[in-house]
């Protein structure tokens, strides 16, 4: 099977499983798991943040961050296609009890005027804005990069209003390797960031939240409130230490393969892809023929041993990851081509 539904389908490498077997463990709620402590220290350093915290998932990282930045009844500005808004079971409203103010985002760039318009200083009717939340890469069906210039402008605006910025950087390293900049350069413009260990990095479990020491102290309490305090969590941290060393820089390969895939698919009759959207490892072609639909294509590809994700009646998504080779890309393109011919 060539499974392109998500980079979360990546299985841990043998070396990761071996790292688990040899990890030194302790009670992490007591702060005594040496492997977790090492991971948090290394991540903080890599991101240029004072401290970091291992949590169970990207969703937990996001909600812990929101609970740590915001009070109940306040408002967060974020892009309308953000994972926090669309795919977290309304945790922001039900658990953190904070309201989301969604704004459109154009190709990974946030419109400063739209952000500024959405800011409420708070009065008897309007909830006070207490956080700006960015996603980088933005839109899990596109994977767009927030341009560095845009990020700096948002920082300036946020400073004017004394607002903190949180970055959901589930796939931040796909952006940093593509821009060829140190992740510190991106993270220095935000107050806190989360990175998923389970996407392109290939770990089985976990996310890392990073920020100031004071923020992480609050985050530890909020993680505990959500039941996310863990004991011998070194079994989660050990694969992540392997990933830090071996899986970060290779993400450029995934981005490059995604671009090749997109360019080749865009040439096929009946498929359309906005190549400007394909900035990292995500390719989402649209079906342009009236008698085609996503399910028909998905069923066809499945028979050829290829899995893609249905993201709309006339659109499917593919995310390239470390298990996908150049030969796989050839095979996927050939199968799409035979679909377009068979159903012309
Ligand atoms: C995957 C993802 C998350 C959530 O991560 P989980 O570990 O699945 O909870 C959050 N934000 C973005 C942008 C993601 O892609």
Contact, 227 vs 13, CB < 8 A?
A: no
The full set of domain ranges for the chain reads 13-246, 251-342
Over 90: is that where the pLDDT of 56 sits?
yes
Which CATH fold would you assign to the domain 251-342? 3.90.1150
Cα-to-centroid distance, 316 and ligand 1 (Å): 19
**Average pLDDT, integer, range 152-173:** 98
What phi and psi, each to the nearest 5 degrees, are found at residue 182? -65, 135
Q: What percent of the chain has pLDDT over 90?
A: 99
Cα-to-centroid distance, 168 and ligand 1 (Å): 8
Tracing tokens 């990020």 back to the chain, one arrives at 151
**Residue 161 DSSP one-character state:** T
Cα-to-centroid distance, 183 and ligand 1 (Å): 18
Over 90: is that where the pLDDT of 344 sits?
no
**Average pLDDT, integer, range 287-311:** 97
pLDDT digits (tens, 9 = 90+) for 193-243: 999 999 999 999 999 999 999 999 999 999 999 999 999 999 999 999 999
Substitution candidate for ligand 1 out of 83, 105, 136, 223 with most atoms within 8 A of CB = 83
The torsion region of residue 100 among left (phi > 0), alpha (psi -120 to 50) and beta comes to beta
> Which residues lie with the beta carbon below 6 Å from any ligand 1 atom?
57-59, 62, 83, 135, 140, 168, 170, 196, 198, 207
Query: What is the value of pTM for the model shown?
Result: 0.97
pLDDT digits (tens, 9 = 90+) for 121-148: 989 999 999 999 999 999 999 999 999 9
Domain 13-246 carries which CATH code?
Answer: 3.40.640.10
- The reported pLDDT for the residue numbered 122 is 86
């Amino acid at each position: 099977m060539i499974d392109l539904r998500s980079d979360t389908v990546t299985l841990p490498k043998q070396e990761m499983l071996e790292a688990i077997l040899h990890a030194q463990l302790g009670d992490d709620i007591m702060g005594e798991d040496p492997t977790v402590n090492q991971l948090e220290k290394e991540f903080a350093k890599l991101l240029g943040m004072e401290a970091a915290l291992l949590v169970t998932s990207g969703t937990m990282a996001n909600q812990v961050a929101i609970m740590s930045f915001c009070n109940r009844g306040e408002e967060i500005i974020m892009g309308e296609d953000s994972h926090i808004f669309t795919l977290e079971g309304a945790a922001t409203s039900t658990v953190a009890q904070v309201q989301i103010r969604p704004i459109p985002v154009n190709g990974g760039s946030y419109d400063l005027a739209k952000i500024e318009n959405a800011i409420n200083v708070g009065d008897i009717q309007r909830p006070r804005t207490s956080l700006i939340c960015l996603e980088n890469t933005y839109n899990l069906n596109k994977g767009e990069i927030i341009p560095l210039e845009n990020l700096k402008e948002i920082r300036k605006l946020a400073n004017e209003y004394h607002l903190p910025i949180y970055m959901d950087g589930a796939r931040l390293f796909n952006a940093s390797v593509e821009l060829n900049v140190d992740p510190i350069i991106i993270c220095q413009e935000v107050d806190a960031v989360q990175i998923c260990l389970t996407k392109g990095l290939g770990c089985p479990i976990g996310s890392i939240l990073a920020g100031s020491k004071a923020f992480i102290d609050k985050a530890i309490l909020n993680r505990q409130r959500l039941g996310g305090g863990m004991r011998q969590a070194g079994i989660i941290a050990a694969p992540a230490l392997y990933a830090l060393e071996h899986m970060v820089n290779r993400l450029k390969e995934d981005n490059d393969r995604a671009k090749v895939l997109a360019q080749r698919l865009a040439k096929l009759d009946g498929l359309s892809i906005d190549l400007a959207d394909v900035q990292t490892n995500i390719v989402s072609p649209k079906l342009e023929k009236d008698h085609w639909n996503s399910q028909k294509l998905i069923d066809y590809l499945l028979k050829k041993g290829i899995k893609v994700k249905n993201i709309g009646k006339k659109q499917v998504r593919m995310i390239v990851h470390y298990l996908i080779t150049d030969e796989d890309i050839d095979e996927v393109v050939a199968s799409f081509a035979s679909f377009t011919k068979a159903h012309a």
